[in-house]
Structure formats: C-alpha cells, structure tokens
Amino acid sequence: MLPNPVTNSGIIWTIDGDSSIATISGSSLSGVAPGTVILTATAADGSGVSATQTFTVTAHDLEIASFSVSPISINIDQTLTLSATVQNNGNAAAAATRVRFYRSTSEANLTDDANQISSDAVGGLGISGTQTLTATSAASATAGTFYYGVCVAATANEADTTNNCSAAFEVTVTAADLVASNFSVSSNTVNVGDNITLSATVQNSGDAAAAATMVLFYRFTNETNLFELANEITSEAVGSLAVSATQDITASNTVPAAVGTFYYGVCVAATANESDISNNCSAAFEVTVIASDLVVADFSISSLAVNIEEAITLSVSVKNQGNSAAAATRVKFYRHSTNDFLSGEEITAADIGDLAVSATQTITAASTATATAGIYYYGVCVDAVVNETPTNNNCSAPVSVKVLQWTKAAATHSWPARKDHSTLVFDNKMWILGGFGNIGEIPTAFNSVWSSADGSRIIQSIYADENILASQNLRPSQSK
Ligand SMILES: [Ca+2]
Ligand SMILES: [Ca+2]
Ligand SMILES: [Ca+2]
C-alpha cells in the first residue's frame, strides 16, 4: 500500500461578504462596488489555520438626483428652462465631467447623440457632493409632445454607469394656427364705382391662443400675384382668438373705375406662435366690373346753309356701347361762333330714357337759326350717367351752319316771268336757266340763261332766245 498523500501546503482565499462589492480569483481581489468585504486566508493542509483582513472598496458614482423642465406646456415661440442636479453617491470623489441635455419626440432614443440640445460642465464632486445646472432652450418650432432628458458623462472608475441619466420629462408644445376661410365678395358682377362688401372668417385652428392681428384684403388683375403688398386695398383688425375661436370680418371697398375682371382675396397676418402660415390666405374671388358707355352718333342738322331765324331740325342718336345698362339722362345741343361749341349757349335739350346694353335712341329737336348771318358751330353731348366709363366720348364733333342774309338788289328784272326754271350758284354768280312761260299769249319753252354777279346787274349769255330777245329788245351779253 502506499502512504497517505503529502499534505497540501497552499492557502485558500475566500471573501466573507457580497460578491457585488468584490470578487476574488485565486489570490487576486477585485473591487466591484463601494463597500466592505472580509478576506479570509485558510491553510489548505486541513490544519484549520486561518487569518482575516477587512477590505473597503471605494468608487465615485455620479447620478442625476433631480431633473425638471419648465414650463411643461409652452408655445412654439417660447423658451424652456431645464434644471438638473448631479450628485456623487459613491464613496470616493468624482472628477470633473459634463452634463448633456437631450430632446426627442420619443422616449426610446432620447439620449442619442443626435438629440443633444446643449451641454454644460460639472466640477469635481466630493462624496455626496451636488451641483445644479440650468440651461435654456427654444421650444420646438412645431407643436406636439416632446421628451427632455439629461445625462452626466461617466468618468473613469465610476462604480455604476447605468444610473447616469434622468428619466424622460414630457413637455407639450402648442401653437396658434390662424386660418382665413369663407371669403366672399357681395357680388361677382358690379358696376364701376359701386361699393362691395368683402367678408371672411378667421379661425384659430391651433392649440394655443393667438394674439390680436390684422386681416388684409387684396385686389389684382390676376390670381398669381394677388397677395403682393402693392395689391392691398384695405385691412381690418382681428382680436386675440382662443383655441377654436372664430371672428367674422367684413370690409367695404369701392370697385375700380375701369371695366374688366378683378380678383379679390384676404390673408390673416401670421402671429408669432403660429405653427402653419401656409393656410393664412383665402382662395381668390373673381369679380367682373361692368359699365355703361353712352356715345352720340349721326349728329345732323336739317340744312347747313339757312336764312336768318330759319327753323332747323337737329338730330342725333345716343347709343349705349358699354356692357351695363344706362339710366335715363339728357342730351344737350350747343351753338357757338367757334368750333368750341361747349363754350357757347345750350340751345335746346331732350330727355333720353334708360338704355339697355347696345340700345340706341334717336332724338330730334327743333331750333331756329341765329338772327345774325355768319358761320355757327353746333354740337351735342349726352350727360354721363353714374356707372359710365369713359365719359370723354359723350360729345359730337362740331357741325358748321352758314346763316345767310338775302337783300333785294333790284326792284324789277329783265326776263319774262317763268316757271320750272333751274337756279344755281356757280362761279360766284346766280344763274337762271330755261323754264316755261308765255310770250304774248303763246306758251313758250325758254332756253335762255341769265346770270348776275350782284343781283342787280343781269346778263343773258350762252343760249339766246330770239323770241325773248325780240320781245325784250335785248341782245346776247347785253347788260341791263
Ligand atoms: Ca453613476
Ligand atoms: Ca395659419
Ligand atoms: Ca361715354
């Protein structure tokens, strides 16, 4: 048989205490967390000989002792204050480090680097030491729920790096959102110079109150550039609007003096805490501006060469060439010694009834030539009506009339009485041609031609009438 084995001369190392504070491997003791353990060395030879030694494990341990954000509900244009207190809960001093603040729309990835919004330095902290840090941060530019958090950066030999971040802090970001809607104009077809009423509703569709602002009304000849500053025509105040509140706005405006198609629109001026400014303007509203347009045509006078105080008839047509009906009005006839007939006297006038679009009314008026011979100019104008444009085409051109004064140049004349003869003025002479009459008791067709330059000195010429010549004892070209 063999003897018993040789007794083991080694040492067995054990820890009396929590393995979360320290661990031992062979004869190597490793600290895990702050705390105290008792190390026992026991002889491996079974003699029972042993010894103990107390070991203290030390480490700092930074934590976020408290974290808050104020206010917890905020408008998009406001600023938040973040406050965090860092504490060293270990049993050793901690070196200087930093805190980092984060914001995200979800809690899950809150402390990703991409979500960091600011950071600050933390000084070295003794055991149980604290430091409070504050930071300001603009609220999100969009409304919604946001999560804020803070972490203190772990330092070397830190006992526990899983407790360095705060819990998430929830903040609601609100915004006003003004919307202009229900825009309309009182009529989509109006006469020039008419007043129209513009109306719209402004609503706060956001989840924060909106401050007082303005609505601006616009007009332009096309939709594309309607809302340019130069096209603003009037504005009205809007009071502050609570969430979901509405305000109806009306404004009065005079349409342009020109006919055509015009576009109207309205915008509500954005407020500082507004989330969406793309919905602040209405759709365009199309308005057609129409007008009557009276003109005179075919102005005529019964004779352009008349005796003094001879009756004449004036005639003119009045037409509405616009695209809106014209109210009743008057035409007025004028006469003056120059072609500026409007500076002369109004000689007569006549009423014109309502004229539908394209309608015409013809007017005749009686008048009397002047008592004095000369050249006179006549003209006619139709009085403009209220919705008319243009009004600079309402008068005729001047028409000249020669007023003649005849005087008896001779008491008797040389030729036998006749009828059905011709008379004319030619070559500055008065002429009498042919005709029928009696010579003695014999009916005769005359072929004589008589002329006079002054009415008293009579000449027979060209065709001789021998019967006449014989009876009158005259010869061709003989004067009398
Ligand atoms: Ca820690
Ligand atoms: Ca808006
Ligand atoms: Ca006119």
**270 CA distance to ligand 2 middle (Å):** 7
The whole-model pTM stands at: 0.68
Q: Which ligand is nearest to the CA of 64?
A: 1
Question: Ligand 2 centroid to 277 CA: how many Å?
Answer: 4
On whether residue 411 sits in a domain, the answer given is no
Question: Could you tell me if residue 480 is inside a domain?
Answer: no
Same domain, 160 and 69: yes
Give the count of alpha carbons within 13 A of 268, CB side only. 38
Q: State the ligand closest to the CA atom of 165.
A: 1
Considering every ligand atom, which ligand is closest to the CA of 291? Answer: 3
Q: How far is the CA of 312 from the centre of ligand 3 (A)?
A: 27
> For residue 361, how far is its CA from the centre of ligand 3 (angstroms)?
15
Question: 333 near 346, Cβ under 8 Å?
Answer: yes
Show the tokens assigned to 50.
């042993």
Which ligand ends up closest to the CA of 324?
Answer: 3
282 and 381 both lie in a single domain: no
**Of 174, 193, 215, the domain-final residue:** 174
- Domain end marker among 267, 290, 313: 290
How far is ligand 2, taken at its centre, from the CA of residue 275, in Å?
Answer: 7
Buried b (16+ CB within 10 A) or exposed e, 348-384: bbbebeebeeeeebebebebebbeeeeebbbbbbbeb
Q: Do 239 and 159 fall into the same domain?
A: no
Residues, CB-to-ion distance under 5 Å, ligand 1:
61-62, 160, 163-164
Indicate whether 192 and 238 sit together in one domain: yes
18 and 121 housed in the same domain: no
CATH code, domain with 105 = 2.60.40.10
The ligand minimizing its distance to the Cα of 143 is 2
| pLDDT the model gives residue 475 | 40
Task: Tell me the one-letter amino acid at 390.
Answer: P
Distance from the alpha carbon of residue 22 to the mean position of ligand 2, in angstroms: 63
Q: Which ligand is nearest to the CA of 259?
A: 3
Q: Is residue 1 part of a domain?
A: no
CA 170 to ligand 2 center in whole angstroms: 26
320 Cα–ligand 3 center, Å: 8
> If you measure from the C-alpha of residue 68 to the centroid of ligand 1, how many angstroms do you get, rounded to a whole number?
19
Largest Cα separation within the chain, whole Å, is: 210
Taking alpha carbons only, the member of 405, 381, 400, 376 closest to residue 391 is: 381
Task: Please tell me whether residues 202 and 302 are part of one structural domain.
Answer: no
Residues 432, 398, single domain; the answer is: no
Q: What is the enclosing helix (H) or strand (E) of 466?
A: helix 466-472
Q: Which two tokens stand for residue 421?
A: 């003869």
Cβ–Cβ < 8 Å for 58, 32? no
Does the residue 120 lie in any domain? yes
Amino acid at 278: S
**Number of the ligand closest to the Cα of 278:** 2
- Ligand approaching nearest to the C-alpha of 276: 2
Q: How far is the CA of 442 from the centre of ligand 3 (A)?
A: 66
Any bridge partners for residue 254, and if so which? 195
Neighbours of 39 (CB within 10 A): 18
What is the reported pLDDT for 468? 54
**Distance of CA 159 from the midpoint of ligand 1 (Å):** 6
Which one of the ligands is nearest to 393 CA?
A: 3
Residue 193 Cα to ligand 3 midpoint, Å, equals 15
CA 379 to ligand 1 centroid distance, Å:
106
Cα–Cα nearest to 385, from 316, 293, 258: 293
| Distance from residue 170's CA to the centre of ligand 1 (Å) | 23
The answer as to whether 412 is a domain residue is no
Residues of the domain holding 441:
422-472
- For ligand 3, the distance from its centroid to the CA atom of residue 356, given in whole angstroms, is 14
Q: Which residue is listed with tokens 């060293």?
A: 88
477 in a structural domain: no
Domain boundary among 268, 290, 312: 290
Q: Cα(388) to centroid of ligand 3, in Å?
A: 6
Name, in order, each residue with C-beta under 8 angstroms of 151's C-beta and a sequence gap of 6 or more: 64, 99, 100, 102, 111, 164, 165, 166
**How far is ligand 1, taken at its centre, from the CA of residue 94, in Å?**
10
Residue 207 lies in a domain: yes
Check whether residue 280 and residue 340 sit in a common domain: no
Residue 415 forms part of a structural domain: no
397 in the same domain as 299 = yes
* Residue corresponding to tokens 């974290």: 67
My answer on whether 68 and 169 are in the same domain is yes
| Contact assessment for residue 338 and residue 351, using Cβ atoms and an 8 Å cutoff | no
Question: How far away, in angstroms, is 451 Cα from ligand 1 center?
Answer: 140
- Ligand 1 centre to CA of 160 (Å) is 4
Q: Give the ligand with the smallest distance to the CA of 277.
A: 2
Ligand nearest to the CA of 180: 2
Q: Over its length of 480 residues, how does the chain's per-residue pLDDT go in tens digits?
A: 444 444 556 888 888 877 888 888 887 888 888 888 898 989 888 888 899 989 888 999 999 999 999 999 999 989 999 999 999 999 999 999 999 999 999 999 999 999 999 999 999 999 999 999 999 999 999 999 999 999 999 999 899 999 999 999 999 999 999 999 999 999 999 999 899 999 999 999 999 999 999 999 999 999 999 999 999 999 999 999 999 999 999 999 999 999 999 999 999 999 999 999 999 999 999 999 999 999 999 999 999 999 999 999 999 999 999 999 999 999 999 999 999 999 999 999 999 999 999 999 999 999 999 999 999 999 999 999 999 999 999 999 999 999 998 888 777 777 778 888 888 888 888 888 888 888 778 888 887 788 888 877 777 765 555 455 545 544 444 333
Ligand nearest to the CA of 318: 3
Ligand nearest to the CA of 392: 3
Tokens found for residue 374: 């000369």
- DSSP states of 17-75: S-TTTEEEETTEEEE-SSEEEEEEEEETTSS--EEEEEEEE----EEEEEEEEE-SEEE
The bound ligand whose nearest atom lies closest to the alpha carbon of 322 is: 3
Ligand closest to the CA atom of residue 34: 1
Question: Residue 382 CA: which ligand is closest?
Answer: 3
Ligand 1 centroid to 93 CA: how many Å?
12
| Phi and psi torsions of 472, nearest 5° | -95, -5
Judge if 66 and 170 occupy the same domain: yes
Q: Which residues contact 424 (CB under 8 A, 6 or more apart)?
A: 430, 431, 433
Ligand nearest to the CA of 63: 1
231 in the same domain as 330: no
Q: How many domains are there within the chain?
A: 5
Nearest ligand for residue 296 CA: 3
